[in-house]
Chains A and B, each alone.
Chain A
Amino acid sequence: MKNITCECGHVNPEGTVLCEACGKPIEGNQHINGNQPNKLLNMRYDGSARRSQTYNKTFVDKIWNFFSSVKVGVWLIALTLIASAIGTIFPQEANNQSPLPANQYYEQNYGIAGKIYYQLGFHDLYGSWWYMLLVASIGISLVIASLDRFVPLYRALKKQKPKRHETFLTKQRLFGQADQATEEDKEALVQGLKKQRYKVYEQDGHILAEKGRFARWGPYVNHIGLIIFLIGTLLRFVPAMYIDESMWVREGETKQIPGTDRQYYIKNEDFFVETYDKDDPRYQEAIEEQGGTVVKNYQTNAVLYERTDEALPGSEPELKKIKEGAIQVNRPIKVDQFALYQTTYQLDEFKTMTFKIHEKSDEDEKELDTFTVDLVDPKPEYNLENGIRITVDNYFPEFEMQNGEPTSVSKYPKNPAFVFNIFTPDNPDKPEVSFVGIGANLDPSGENQYKVGLKDFETRDVTGLTITKDLTLPILGLGGLIFMIGVIQGMYWNHRRIWIHPREEGVWIAGHTNKNWFGIKRDLEKIVEGTNVPMVTDQNELKE
């Protein structure tokens, strides 16, 4: 390292633009900040020596310099911004409800544009490797750019001396000469500065007044917050940190909660949907406008149990009730680190169906016997009074005809249908085949002697819950908090410095702020008021 000794005696690290102590421009380094002899000084990072501006030889240097450039940072942010926006043109695959697979969905719905969108991978943009790469690059850039600047800036502000080189002062944006100023005036200025809550430092009659230096650390603090937040989002990929499961529970049913290692169980006592009263004068008009029903509440009344025995597969669990309460949208129920959210529901799912059997030829359909099928767990066989035996040949919980074939589109009994085999005492080997569903009753052979008909059914509601455990939330929260502290620190306070430089005749005054020039000028106006010192000039305005 080639250190540079300034004429004031201070030793500066290589690459310094303005002496850390007195601010004198260091010869040969002015190009780094783009300073020119007849222009104001560029006060960026107080002219401190930044690694990225000093070394550019090794591979590490090159990487460092790339990521520490704000220009690169801005490009990364801008690219992320544009990509994010494009991702909203068509619905994302994860958010769309269509049953079609993505490779057909986009083309069918949005034509050629949709096809291109899909092929470029925009249908799953936010999970794509290159989007993540962009965000990761922003993270890296944040770290490197901050380190590159923070350390030297911290040094420069620490080492600064009240006594400044005259070139430094004359090339500040705010500068004034007060040749008539007396010692009393100078004293009045110092008092004025103190009244404006500046910290005043003195060295051989030279004054440095400073306030709000901590605002300079704002950007670094907020960048740390962002980094913590980004790390938090990465940790979601660690399985122990993040669980996201969903489950259906029928009314009356007790089920193990997925994701909890068979530790917790939940019983759905009741699920219901409430709507607003149509005749409530307060909302009447709006409800009418929205088609007559507006939902007020989705609720599951639940009981939570904990398993008290060893969780062996196959063994019946011993359960202890630990909690009872309502799960509503916006009001999850919590147990341990898990939260159960009300997410979806299914009203009136079939629970049981009761069938009756009668002779086909009987006009009155006199009931010979009945049997009841549990639709979640149908028995394979039902033995009836008069020796008739019925077996379930096929069961379609959610029946639909597809291409002329009966099929079930789900395992949930939303539209149950059965193919029964009826074995009669007269004909124990050759069963009669009968198809029964909601509003459907077929005799495929046309020669049946008996007929099975739907007599009655029971329904119940099913609640859809999501179970989450998210240990990253506190980390994300911390990141957010630090970010907010940092932006407020950097935005709502400014770092202002005013120098008073005694001359043979009177004094010179110079001022610098990192932002809000209006504010520092107002400070200066108040400070020079009542003295012989004229208001400083804004040399920025002169140049135009």
Chain B
Amino acid sequence: MELSTISSNLLYGAFILYLIATFFFGGTIRTKGKEKASTRTGNIAITITIIGFLSQVGYFITRWIASHHAPVSNLFEFTTFFGMMLVLAFIVIYFIYRLNLLGLFTLPVALLVIAYASMFPREISPLIPALKTHWLYIHVTTAALGEAILAVSFAAGLIYLIKSVDQSKLNKKTFWLEFIIYALYATIGFIVITSVFRGIGYDSTFQIPSEMENAEPTKVEFTLPAITGPHNGELITNGAMQPIFNVPEWMSGDKAASKLNTFIWSLLTGLVLYGLTLLILRKRVAAAIQPYLTKVNPDLVDEVSYRAVAIGFPVFTLGALIFAMIWAQQAWNRFWGWDPKEVWALVTWLFYAVFLHLRLSQGWQGERSAWLAVIGFAIIMFNLIAVNLVIAGLHSYA
């Protein structure tokens, strides 16, 4: 078997193992007694998680050998790596606190991240000159690890909120909590809809006249039916769906329209899935989960969430700011260029600085701290996804 095939299989294996482990972590929830059985199930779950992690490490190493450079150089590779670090961060924090429930919330996030990653082109790609330096690997891996540890804080914060937000009536808090859950659904939506149309082999092409005279028109491919088309674009595939509207002129990148289109599809699919869940549950999703969390000690969850930030903040600083500056200094002879991706790393860092100061001096604990952990994760995801989609700078991999 070829090395790259072995590599993909190892990743696939890791995915399945994480999925199984999630169910075992689910099995540790007891609303009544039986501590022992619960501990045993928990041990099985963490063992499977570790095997899955090792399998993913195997994927990483084999792919490294196959591609001759550390596999963190495109969106697929980076995002799967982030998923791997998320599992690592979870394992570490699990052994500090032995909180089974954390697995039930972190592993699905890792699963989503990896599934999301695999929607991007997966071939092994060559490195452009700016990326040819060890500092790139060092920067990207440490930054991903830092973000992953901070993401564990989000998982714990979410548990805290689902447990403690009063679900008896609809208000701002319950609304935003559902909104977070819906955001997870939209990610699933992205994965589902992309896979479906890829399965069918859907493809439509648009032609955009070039701004320069006599130049060939640009061709843009859509892999999902176009709800929104490129500015001035003309559909040239027969029988494909006509866009409902075209994007405004300033969204001028070749792929801007297709990215927005995918985004809209993901939101809609997520909405359908979320709607179906509501129909089945007949109550808010968070309200349906809440009864399973009665035995959770909120102070402990709060502590885990805070601890993850305390551990993750230095790692994030080192990876996303300091190493990034060293790399930028080498590659572009300026350690800082106010590129959107850089600015959003700074924003993330400032945000967690605010988090720490509020917590330490203003006593923001418990629920407020949990909301902050959620917002922090939203900023990280924004930087990982939206900045690439919307405001592409030097770092835009894909």
B343 and A87 within 8 A (CB): yes
Interface positions of B from 274 to 327, Cβ below 8 Å from A? 299-300, 303, 306-307, 310-311, 313-314, 317-318, 322, 325
Write out, one digit per residue, whether chain A residues 190-231 have a CB within 8 A of any chain B CB (1) or not (0): 000000000000000000000000000000000000000000
Interface string of A228-246 (1 = CB under 8 A from B): 0000000000000000100
A491/B343 contact (C-beta < 8 A), A286-B124, A296-B129 known: no
Using Cβ atoms and an 8 Å threshold, which residues of chain A touch B340? 88
Shortest Cβ gap from B124 to chain A (Å): 6
Check A330 against B132 for contact (C-beta < 8 Å).
Answer: yes
CB of A100 closer than 8 Å to a CB of B: no
User: Chain B residue with minimal CB distance to A494?
Assistant: B310
Contact present for B300 and A518 (CB under 8 Å): yes
A466 and B333 CA atoms in complex are apart in Å by 8
**CA gap between A150 and B127 in the complex, in Å:** 49
Residues of B within 8 A of A329 (CB): 129-130, 132, 331
B95: CB under 8 A from chain A? no
Q: Which of B322-372 contact A (CB under 8 A)?
A: 322, 325, 329-335, 337-340, 343-344, 346-347, 350-351, 353-354, 357-358, 360-362
B362 touches A81 (CB 8 A): no
Q: Which residues of B contact A473 (CB under 8 A)?
A: 329, 335
Tell me which residues across on chain B come within 8 A of A540, comparing CB atoms. 299
Q: Which of A70-78, A361-369, A406-414, A444-452 contacts B (4 or more CB under 8 A)?
A: A70-78
Q: Known: A78-B354, A81-B354, A468-B333. Contact between A282 and B300, CB under 8 A?
A: no
Expressed in whole angstroms, the minimum distance between the Cβ of B329 and any Cβ of chain A is 7
Tell which of B128, B300, B331, B338 touches A294, judged by Cβ atoms closer than 8 Å. B128
Nearest B residue to A287 via CB reads: B126
Q: Number of B interface residues at 8 Å Cβ cutoff, please give it.
A: 56
B310 touches A283 (CB 8 A): no
A346 interface contact, C-beta 8 A: no
From residue B154, how far is it (CB to closest CB) to chain A in Å?
Answer: 18
**Nearest-Cβ distance from residue A327 to partner chain B, whole angstroms:** 11
Say whether B97 faces chain A, with CB atoms less than 8 Å apart.
yes
Residue numbers in B under 8 Å from A517 (CB-CB): 303
Q: Contact at A484–B317, with CB atoms within 8 Å?
A: yes
Cβ of A85 and Cβ of B331 under 8 Å apart? no
Query: Contacts A81-B354, A330-B132 known; A518 to B303 CB distance under 8 Å?
Result: yes
Of all chain B residues, the one with the shortest Cβ separation from A94 is B338
Q: Are B130 and A70 in contact (CB under 8 A)?
A: no
Q: Which of B361-398 contact A (CB under 8 A)?
A: 361-362, 387, 391, 393
A108-164 residues with Cβ-Cβ distance < 8 A to B are 109-111, 114, 126
Tell me the bound Cα distance from A109 to B332 in angstroms: 28
- List the A side residues contacting B334 at CB < 8 Å: 244, 468
Interfacial chain B residues near A80, Cβ < 8 Å: 350
Q: A321: CB under 8 A from chain B?
A: no
Residues in chain B near residue A295, CB distance under 8 A: 128-129
Task: Write the nearest CB–CB distance from A502 to chain B, whole angstroms.
Answer: 31
Cα A285 to Cα B347 in complex, Å, equals: 36
Contact of A88 among B299, B310, B314, B343 (CB under 8 A): B343
The answer to whether residues A84 and B121 also contact, given A95-B339, A110-B250, A296-B129 and a CB cut-off of 8 A, is no
Distance A326 CA – B202 CA, assembled complex (angstroms)? 48
Contacts of A44 in B (CB 8 A): 361
Within the complex, the shortest CB–CB distance from B135 to chain A, in Å, comes to 8
Distance in angstroms between the alpha carbons of A84 and B354 in the assembled complex: 15
| A78→B347 CA distance, assembly (Å) | 9
In the complex, the answer to whether A487 meets B333 with C-beta atoms within 8 Å is no
The answer, yes or no, to whether B67 is at the interface (CB within 8 Å) is yes
* Contact between B354 and A77, CB atoms less than 8 A apart: yes
Indicate if the CB atoms of A81 and B338 lie closer than 8 Å.
no
B35 touches A (CB below 8 Å) = no
Q: How far is the CB of A26 from chain B (nearest CB, A)?
A: 22
B213 within 8 A of A: no
A484 touches B322 (CB 8 A): yes
Contact B125 A286, beta carbon cutoff 8 Å: yes
Name the CB-closest residue of A to B341: A88
Of all chain A residues, the one with the shortest Cβ separation from B350 is A81
CB distance from A515 to the nearest CB of B (A): 7
The reply on A475 being an interface residue by CB < 8 A is no
Q: Is A420 an interface residue (CB 8 A)?
A: no
Q: B47: which A residues are within 8 A, CB to CB?
A: none
Q: How far is the CB of B333 from chain A (nearest CB, A)?
A: 4
Q: Chain A residues near B125 (CB, 8 Å)? A: 283, 286-287, 289-290, 294
B5 interface residue per 8 A CB criterion:
no
User: Which residues 88-130 of B have a CB within 8 angstroms of A?
Assistant: 97, 121, 123-126, 128-130
Q: Which residues of A contact B68 (CB under 8 A)?
A: 282
Residue ID in chain B nearest A110 by CB atoms: B250
CB distance from B382 to the nearest CB of A (A): 9
Other-chain residue from B314, B330, B347 in contact with A330 (beta carbon distance below 8 A): B330
B249 interfacial contact with A, CB 8 Å: yes
Q: Quick check: is B50 within 8 A (CB to CB) of the other chain?
A: no
A483:B317 contact, CB within 8 angstroms: yes
B133 at the interface (CB under 8 A from A): yes
Bound complex: CA A343 to CA B357 (Å): 41
**For the complex, is A92 an interface residue (Cβ under 8 Å from B)?**
yes
- A516 contacts B by Cβ under 8 Å: yes
Contact present for B343 and A85 (CB under 8 Å): yes
Name the CB-closest residue of B to A515: B310
Bound complex: CA A416 to CA B387 (Å): 42
Give the complex CA separation of A329 and B329 in angstroms: 11
Q: What residues on A are CB-neighbors of B353 within 8 Å?
A: 77
Whether A283 and B126, one on each chain, are in contact in the complex, defined by CB atoms closer than 8 angstroms, is yes
Tell me the bound Cα distance from A109 to B252 in angstroms.
10
Determine if B66 is an interface residue (Cβ-Cβ < 8 Å).
yes
The answer, yes or no, to whether A531 is at the interface (CB within 8 Å) is: no
**Could you say which residues of chain A place their CB within 8 Å of the CB of B330?**
330, 332
Q: Output the least CB separation between A266 and chain B (Å).
A: 16
Is there contact, CB below 8 Å, between A77 and B317?
Answer: no
A54 at interface, CB cutoff 8 A: no
Q: Which of A244, A330, A339 contacts B130, CB < 8 Å?
A: A330
Q: Is the C-beta of A308 less than 8 angstroms from some C-beta in chain B?
A: no
Chain B residue at minimum C-beta to C-beta distance from A466: B333
A504 contacts the other chain (CB 8 A):
no
CA distance A426 to B128 in the complex (A): 61
A476 within 8 A of B: yes
Give 15 CB contacts A-B under 8 Å: A74-B358, A95-B339, A95-B393, A244-B333, A282-B126, A285-B124, A298-B129, A329-B130, A330-B133, A332-B333, A468-B334, A476-B335, A484-B314, A488-B314, A492-B314
Q: 4 shortest A-B CB distances, which residue pairs?
A: A286-B125, A329-B129, A70-B361, A285-B123
- B residues apposed to A, CB below 8 Å: 66-68, 97, 121, 123-126, 128-130, 132-133, 249-250, 299-300, 303, 306-307, 310-311, 313-314, 317-318, 322, 325, 329-335, 337-340, 343-344, 346-347, 350-351, 353-354, 357-358, 360-362, 387, 391, 393
Beyond A94-B338, A95-B338, list 9 extra A-B contacts (CB 8 Å): A85-B347, A88-B340, A282-B66, A282-B124, A282-B126, A330-B129, A330-B133, A515-B306, A516-B310
